[in-house]
Each structure stands twice: as C-alpha cells, then as structure tokens.
Amino acid sequence: MQNDYVYLIREKLKGHAPVFTGISDAEISAVVIPLIRGERGLEILFEKRAGALSSQPGEVCLPGGRLDKGETAEEAGIREICEELLIDSRRVHVIGKMNAVMGPSGAPVWPMVALLEDYSFTYSDEEVAEVFTVPLEWFVNTKPEVYMTWLETKPEEGFPYELIPGGKKYPWRRKKNPVYFYRADPHVIWGMTAKVIADLIALLAVKNAREKK
C-alpha cells in the first residue's frame, strides 16, 4: 500500500508545473509601465482612473487589469493598455517583464515595461479621467517615501479556537506591509503603482552598479 501511494504521488506530480494555490486566473493581474519619448527624455505614462469606476475611482495607476481565461500576463497587459489608451497593439513594444508583486487582494500582479510608438495621449473616457507623464530620470533621482501598515489575522465568528494551541490567546502573526509614495506634484503616485515603479528603478540601479565594476 505504501508503495502504491508513492507511485500514485509520483505519477500525479510528473511534469507538474507548480503554481499558487487558492488563486484563480481571474484574480491574477498584469500592469504595463508605458514609456514614451518626450520633451523631457524618456517618460512614464500614468492614468488617473475615471470617477465613475466602482474600484479605486480617481486614483493614479498604470494601465492593466485581470487576465481573461487562457491569457498570458503579456497578452492581458497589451489588451488592457490598448483598451484604456485607445492605441493599436502594433504600437506597444514590450521591452521586458518584471517580478510579480502581491496586489491588495493578495493575488499576484505581473508588471511589464513597454515602449509606446506614436502615442497621441488618447484614452477611454469610461475608464480614464486623464493621463500624464513623469520623466523616468525624476524617479531615478527621487527616493520614494515608505510608510508601514500592519496586516492582522482576525478569525471569523465560530472559529474553533479549542482545536489550536493557546485557544483564543494564540499568537497570530502580524505582517508588516510597506506602502510606497512618490509626490510628483500635482499628482501623488502611491501603493502598488509606486511599488512597481520603485522596483523598476531598483532594477536600473543594480544594472548601473554592475556596469561600473
């Protein structure tokens, strides 16, 4: 019997590609860091979400959204940026993909960097209130402000405390969560959007440091 289970486990895991469990494809998102060549050099394009949206209205964000069934992160990112900025996909040139970050819901968000060709500052009024740019060099020279929040575990009513050591006094872990801010007057770029930008700048800093050695 033991060998039967070993065989069964081996067969079930043969060729298996590990993924996050408890997260459906519909919860995974992709965002695009859009770069344009402007008067101030290479600039990052941001959106301000439309006020009528049910989720995070009026907040500064990057183009993006959740993956549709069967989509890759890159396909979703390109689809979303085309829908939001009314730009043809042939004018969106993906430069590369970055490491995933955990979004507010706890699901992964996959960022990528793309260069926009001949973009004329169009956007969908249904999703976007305005677009604006900030020079990439400004972020290189500006450290983000970082403040901490705490994420706590709060068991639901009826939780079986009698089944765990310590019962109601069990020392649940608290997770420290950094929140990033950039004051790009008159706009405030914060939260996951700011974290993604900070990750890009950190990536550039590492590359520069290696080249100087």
What distances in angstroms separate CA 86 from CA 117, 152, 211, one per listed residue? 13, 41, 38
Which of 67-76, 78-87, 97-106, 149-158 is modeled with the greatest confidence? Answer: 78-87
Categorize the per-residue pLDDT at 193 as very low, low, confident or very high, splitting at 50, 70 and 90.
very high
The predicted pLDDT at position 52 comes to: 76
The secondary structure of 115-134 as a DSSP string is EESS------TTTEEEEEEE
DSSP category for residue 155: P
* pLDDT tens profile 133-177: 999 999 999 999 999 999 889 999 999 999 999 999 999 998 889
Calculate mean pLDDT across residues 51-65: 87
Ordered by where they begin, the domains of the chain are: 21-212 (3.90.79.10)
> Residue 127 CA to chain centroid, in angstroms?
18
